[in-house]
Structure 1
């Protein structure tokens, strides 16, 4: 997080195995906020590798549920068990709206659970709301 404003989100990580969803998300994010650092990982294992070797950790993680190698719940469990990573807020970002999955993710430490929008403006609005809610105007 920024030293001048500890609440400002300056770095965001998207963990999603769909390259099209990654590009859609990145374009929407940079449409609403140009000066935010964006990183993506194709699965939970890649994200965990990035987080454990990175000099800077993200201020917020958007996490897909269904991915190869390591799914979202397993990734969430691993970072919430890590003393150095557990402070990072995680928003589940999934096509699923299954009540059991939502309940499970929240009980494991996810701060929110959102269904992936299909329209660009809906994604922009969702990102505006989530960035405002989690510390960034």
Structure 2
């Protein structure tokens, strides 16, 4: 990969954050993985820090303070993020969730896989689309 990629993961599960970071690191050690522990913190940072424009936003659906759907709606209201792909990263494989989030503006949907190697391959597909 040519330039440094910044991925912003919004997920309230610290184990999932760690696994996600390890998978990105396996793709390229130069990829920055910045995390937010919930949608409220993520939205506050994205609104407050206009200099923070990640290349990709990965968003868990099932979070306590603000659901992934609510967070996605709020991200889509922030003008400087209009061109940033938001990828849902969830344990849910329900077609209803996939369809609904795509209609809300998600650009892709990843079901949390059972292994880091599968996640690594899937993330590589997403990152190489650019």
Does structure 2 retain, via aligned residues, the 8 Å contact 1:9–1:131?
no
**1:16-55 → structure 2 map (5 Å cutoff):** 16-54=11-49, 55=51
Deviations 1:24-61 (A, max 9, x none): 11011011111111100111111111212222210101
Number of residue-to-residue matches in the alignment: 128
In structure 1, runs of 5+ residues without a counterpart are none
TM-score with structure 1 setting the length: 0.88
Over the aligned positions, Cα root-mean-square deviation in angstroms equals 1.4
SS at match of 1:97: coil
Deviations 1:78-119 (A, max 9, x none): 111222223211010100011111111000100011100111
In structure 2, runs of 5+ residues without a counterpart are none
TM-score with structure 2 setting the length: 0.92
2:89 to 93, 103, 107: 93
